[in-house]
Chains A and B, each alone.
Chain A
Amino acid sequence: MSLLDVQHLTVRFHTRNGVLTAVDDVSFTVDPGETLAIVGESGSGKSVTCYSLLRLIPEPPGRIESGTALFDGVDLLQSPVSALRHIRGNDIAVIFQDPMSCLNPFLTIGEQLMEPLIFHRQLTRPAARNQALALLAEVGIKDPTRRFESYSHEFSGGMRQRVMIAMALIAEPKLLIADEPTTALDVTVQAQILRLIKELQQRRNIAVILISHDLAVVAGVADRIAVMHQGKVVETGATNTIFTGAQHPYTRKLLASIRSGAKQHAVASAPTPRPLLEVKNLTTCFRDYGTPLLATEAERFITAVDNVSLTVNHGEILGLVGESGSGKSSLGRSILQMIPVRSGSVTFAGQQLCGLNAKAIRPLRRRMQMIFQDPYASLNPRMTVFDAIAEPLLFHRLATRSSVEKLVHTLMDEVGLARAYVRKYPHEFSGGQRQRIDIGRAIATRPEFVLADEPVSALDVTIQAQILDLLLDLVARHNLTMLFISHDLSVVRYIADRVMVMHRGKIIESEKTETLWAHPQQPYTQQLLAAIPGADRPQHRPPAGDY
């Protein structure tokens, strides 16, 4: 008998703007000790499905219209809230995407782990402490006795997720729901967390529902995959079957968006590369306010960018890869003189940027633009698309009040936004559309150089592919030069002509993209490449057809 048996679940949201069917007649089962991955893009209803089972969706406006969800023979959807609360705490545990917001910043990790043990399991404090320490060790926290007294902000993202998993394990659940547990993490950390979930599951025989937008991520972990699209489960099958013989067009589209290949149209390297941007011995430091009073000058600063030299040639896309904290964003911002540089030089089109004051650099900013990671934060919420794109044009006198409208329309066409949206505000758009606005704004001034700082990391995989293709198209059409920063190696492989790997503030390897993939020299690079999700997935042949 399956542990969880969901049949014909339908959930609707009754809003002022009408009724939205978020989950539409969804059925699936999970066996004890099995991992089911629910895959779909944001808005496909995968999270709502799982949260409805625990009745964690806001009711109203949400309403579970029909269906049954038998968990251990009990229908979750018919259970009284008090019984459900018991199940939630004991039999089903949830881990979320953002572990930071789920941990209390004012309590130590140890305190937070002991609390449920003392209150729910009636353990004494010493017993609870031992149990909590054992849990921390089990989820791979090194030196748990010392970390016990730490606060959540003292942990890295991956460590926090481990702590969340430890908390989920306290109640010894039969079912663990993991909602995009690794989306906010670096590739190598992601691989570790996924491995941890897999290990725990086998050791404790827990059933897992893994929610993700990325097929590649679940490939190595899931036993079965359910693909959701617009509220419906369009296809369910064993992982192998999905990867090798997907039936539904949407599943195939998802598979196609896994970037396994190299860049399609690599720029034929010009016989004599002309450098557009030259960086020499660039060093950037940040003040560390946590140091003791009598620290030496060197201790007071954290070196984010350590003596980096690089050259970006005309018309080239240079990929910059590294994990969070490697200094790649700081390097990008140092090049654009957005943050103060300690030493070194940056030459852009023959002009020295370091040492220029804010006013002198302003006319140059028109020629080097930036695309940001978070399309939600990088647009002023009180400016319409029109205002956002028109502002740089008007400021740099590239258009007059009368001619700007036409230019904005052209730009919107170029980045694939319907002209009818011109008066809309950013919050009315999806993440992908917002990123298009962001890109439109960046290319408005016809720059020669664009810095793209993780431009697709906040997006769904299918949207990522669209945005990457848009960037490639714009680069080709406008002969742009781009520095493309990402933690995602498969993204970089798809877009970049040349790749640099950054680690602890230094460039440790720099090579043509395909050469690097074929023969990584540095151990760190090899480790990064090995951690790409789905590297161990079953091989699939790209299906025929145009998706």
Chain B
Amino acid sequence: MTLATTAAATEERGVSLWQDAWRRLQKNRLALLGLGVLLAMTLTALLTPWIAPYSYDAQNLALGATPPSAQHWLGTDTLGRDLLTRILYGSRVSLMVGFVATGVALSIGILYGTIAGYAGGRVDATMMRLVDIMYALPFMIFIILLMVVFGRNIVLLFFAIGAVEWLTMARIVRSQVQTLRQQEFIEAAVSLGLSRWLIVRRHLIPNTLGPVIVYTTLTIPGVILLEAFLSFLGLGIQPPQSSWGSLISAGVETMEEYPWLLLFPGLVLSITLFALNFLGDGLRDALDPRAAKD
């Protein structure tokens, strides 16, 4: 389909900001590439139990750590487990942590920040002091407390990380909203008699998305590595299960003897990060009608 017909087609029916953004995203090759890579990764992660060449906990101590070979494409670790399999299984945990925890952080952060920024005054002051208190709480203690109370649970891990990461998001969104609400188009919306919720949803939140998306693409890899740290403390997933984070931290220990144990998990994480950044930049431009159209 040519561009002209797409344009003509959209001329006819109603286009929401998101439909419009999608149309523009499709013109951004890098962003599409990023989206494709992420989709492929998600798909392989979902299909891992069926496509993985070995079992993630099948040890072969006789084999030990071997470099990449025909049997083991990415080599094996010190216990003789297939690295490719472990990366594939690890992607299930890591991607889920990355997306779910960031999703939690996003939803809470945007809502909280918007309300605080839009309400202003005492409501804002109270809400933001609460955030300050949470910032001041040592994050580890918070998560350990959660684990102690609710037990070790991977779902809880997602929410624990998300519940900590939303603080920064809320601050970013709040400052955005504070600037936006001074603008005349918000006043115009009030004078039109629109309800507060509609103003928040249609006028405020869409205009905060630029910085939010950029921060999100930075948060996801951060969260993936955070999971490794928590797992190292025994709070996340436990061996023999794997995640990218735990594979990388294990790889660091044996970096000098068996560099591939660090190289491949690191590479996969980097590719994810690049894909996220490309997609994030593309989304930011696509969601801003003022950005150059072509």
The reply to whether B290 and A386 contact each other, CB–CB distance below 8 Å, is no
Chain A hits for B294, CB < 8 A: 16
Contact of B185 among A358, A373, A379 (CB under 8 A): A379
The reply to whether B185 and A425 contact each other, CB–CB distance below 8 Å, is no
The reply to whether A372 and B17 contact each other, CB–CB distance below 8 Å, is no
Within 8 A of B (CB), among A317-367: 336, 338, 358, 361-366
Minimum CB–CB distance from B106 to chain A (whole Å) comes to 18
* B196 contacts A by Cβ under 8 Å: yes
Chain B hits for A16, CB < 8 A: 292, 294
Contact of A362 among B20, B184, B193 (CB under 8 A): B193
Within 8 A of A (CB), among B1-46: 10-11, 14-15, 17, 20
The reply to whether A382 and B10 contact each other, CB–CB distance below 8 Å, is no
The reply to whether A383 and B193 contact each other, CB–CB distance below 8 Å, is no
Contact flag A374-B184 (CB < 8 Å), given A384-B15, A386-B14, A425-B290 = yes
Contact of A366 among B20, B193, B287 (CB under 8 A): B193
The reply to whether B190 and A338 contact each other, CB–CB distance below 8 Å, is yes
**Which A residues are within 8 Å of any B CB, using their own CB?**
16, 336, 338, 358, 361-366, 369-370, 372-374, 377-384, 386, 391-392, 395-396, 405, 420, 423, 425, 427, 438, 441, 445
Within 8 A of A (CB), among B184-241: 184-185, 187-196, 198, 202-203, 206-207
Minimum CB–CB distance from A287 to chain B (whole Å) comes to 11
Complex Cα spacing A119 to B15, Å: 58
Minimum CB–CB distance from A444 to chain B (whole Å) comes to 8
The reply to whether A427 and B290 contact each other, CB–CB distance below 8 Å, is yes
The reply to whether B202 and A383 contact each other, CB–CB distance below 8 Å, is yes
* B69 contacts A by Cβ under 8 Å: no
Contact of B195 among A362, A373, A427 (CB under 8 A): A362
| Cross-chain pairs A/B with CB under 8 angstroms, 20 sampled | A338-B187, A362-B193, A362-B194, A365-B192, A372-B188, A377-B183, A377-B185, A380-B206, A382-B206, A382-B289, A383-B203, A386-B14, A391-B189, A392-B193, A395-B192, A395-B194, A420-B11, A423-B15, A427-B290, A445-B193
Complex Cα spacing A233 to B62, Å: 89
Contact of B17 among A361, A369, A382 (CB under 8 A): A382
Chain B hits for A381, CB < 8 A: 185, 207, 288-290
Contact flag A427-B289 (CB < 8 Å), given A378-B185, A381-B207, A382-B17 = yes
Most buried by B among A378, A381, A382, A425: A382
The reply to whether B193 and A365 contact each other, CB–CB distance below 8 Å, is yes
**Which B residues are within 8 Å of any A CB, using their own CB?**
10-11, 14-15, 17, 20, 183-185, 187-196, 198, 202-203, 206-207, 287-290, 292, 294
Minimum CB–CB distance from B49 to chain A (whole Å) comes to 43
Contact flag A370-B191 (CB < 8 Å), given A378-B185, A386-B14 = yes
Residue of B nearest to A379 (CB): B185
Chain A hits for B11, CB < 8 A: 420, 423
Chain A hits for B14, CB < 8 A: 386, 405
Minimum CB–CB distance from B10 to chain A (whole Å) comes to 7
Complex Cα spacing A386 to B20, Å: 13
Chain B hits for A405, CB < 8 A: 14
Complex Cα spacing A408 to B181, Å: 26
Chain B hits for A380, CB < 8 A: 185, 189, 202-203, 206-207
Chain A hits for B288, CB < 8 A: 381-382
Contact of A395 among B187, B193, B206 (CB under 8 A): B193
Chain A hits for B195, CB < 8 A: 362, 395
Minimum CB–CB distance from A337 to chain B (whole Å) comes to 10
Contact flag A382-B196 (CB < 8 Å), given A16-B292, A377-B183 = no
Complex Cα spacing A276 to B206, Å: 38
Q: Which 9 A-B pairs have the closest CB atoms?
A: A365-B193, A425-B289, A377-B184, A378-B184, A370-B191, A392-B192, A362-B193, A380-B185, A427-B290
> What 10 new A-B contacts, CB under 8 Å, besides A382-B289, A384-B289?
A338-B187, A362-B195, A366-B193, A370-B191, A380-B202, A381-B185, A383-B203, A391-B194, A391-B202, A423-B10
Minimum CB–CB distance from B143 to chain A (whole Å) comes to 37
The reply to whether A369 and B203 contact each other, CB–CB distance below 8 Å, is no
Minimum CB–CB distance from B21 to chain A (whole Å) comes to 9
The reply to whether B207 and A445 contact each other, CB–CB distance below 8 Å, is no
Contact flag A441-B190 (CB < 8 Å), given A380-B207, A381-B207, A381-B289 = no
Chain A hits for B15, CB < 8 A: 384, 423
The reply to whether A363 and B193 contact each other, CB–CB distance below 8 Å, is yes
Chain B hits for A378, CB < 8 A: 184-185, 187-188
The reply to whether B207 and A382 contact each other, CB–CB distance below 8 Å, is yes
Contact of B198 among A363, A365, A395, A438 (CB under 8 A): A395
The reply to whether B202 and A372 contact each other, CB–CB distance below 8 Å, is no
Most buried by B among A338, A379, A381, A438: A381
